Structure 1
């Protein structure tokens, strides 16, 4: 008999939980519909009801967070801050609480006591650096410090907190921002070293700013007259380029093609090595198959071949321009590059400034 009663009690509890879960889902869906329609007050009320109906702590926190965020979206900023406070107090270790701390601080900055909000944002960053909004908060705090003390305030803030943030996932951003600050202050040698250190500390594929660091280091090296170092930095940027399997192409990052093009330019303009420049321009055309720089690369390769008196290579590149990139502006100059080669009928007529580049 006792076993039967226990089974009845268990089934009753299960039914209650199911009804609670159904209520949560219905209220959440109602909130989503109202928010999509711009009815933020209605949406906030529905999310609050979802939080009350939730049988799981995680669902309750989700409803509470959405209530606060929707109140803020609807312009009810003080009520939104109060809602964030309730969520943080009720679930200090919940999945949404770290984000709530950040959002609460940002609302305070924009719609309450700004000084208190900045202090709260800084505390959040230093104690909860791994939260999803940590990176955004870091940049906002640095910008604020610079605005408060132009000409180095942001840099000083970074230096003051560098040791603490070095142990977190924000270390790369801190290093990069310090390098940018040094560059802005005109300390080119220190900035260059800082960019290199950032790239080496957070190499591909783990760093999100690796390519930017190598790129900026190369630009500074070039300005300092150290073209050889600039080439090395660009080669290190390009070295980890991956090729996907199953003929799906390459994992292209935004700096790849530009870095390859700049590498060729350095060999041509700084290191007086036109043959190597020709090879590097062709690498861009051959490997970076989605880049809009491909026709520029072929054109420059052809010009260098022409200047070297290599008629066969010049004509080979002219033919490739017409064949592979028939709508390129350069394909309308193929006959100018190689007598006997027809221009592409799909290309515009050869422009005067391109004809000028062909002059001896």
Structure 2
């Protein structure tokens, strides 16, 4: 049994993907070829936004968002402590300071109540200027954007949605990637919508942001790539990856149905034994991972291994416990819910082609 069965997905889509790749090999436009523009149009339509701008990977997508928003030294950007390192890394990379926030115990996502407390504490401290919030759609479930948006507006903060895991998720019919001022995703192979390498995208309804994104991703270009009007970066999606993603995006709604069937199957089998993930009313999860809570995680994972069932831990170390952020002065106990999650969560196989029950 595979944790994420990319081989099964490829076999299902082989003829279409191979044809797409051959088309790219035939026309030879490997960088920013026509498939890139086609994908951006399809992504924008699927998510429900005016603009989708592709880039080289999900971390670059977040970095581009920080650049567009003008995040800089002296700024505070609020983000969950229970997340992948890139969420906080991109804040520090711009010279700003990540201010970590505890998790919601029901959804594992950033806690709106703790978020407001951290914002108020930062304002009272007076050392940093609150500028933005990065909310992460953890394990496929969109964060609580109705509440987070209210808080962001109350304190005049920009809101960034990190939909790397949440792509395909929804709140009241509004799709992940369409929340906040700007949103990002990753096409890393293990993500709900993944390519065969690295890739990413940024989503926005803001025309000015879209033009800046297009400039920043190609060395800060102006009218062409040799007219550089600002300091940018080199972050373009390869045409072959765009071609692959076009076929995967077409199949994605069917895969989401299968992922949700698997999640329901897991719930029926495992809810009496573990704390299973719950999807709030009005929400849809894309089930990037199916994550359980167990008091004796190591023993549970060992038991699954004996049965030939792979498991993974997302995430075993919170951001405030990372060596790279030790100078921020956080200590054990500052984020009790997130710290408990880091010690007790583990994930089971989840993809659109599972045929065997646990």
Q: Same fold (TM over 0.5)?
A: no
Higher CA-based Rg:
1
Structure in which a larger fraction of residues adopt strand = 2
Structure in which a larger fraction of residues adopt helix = 1
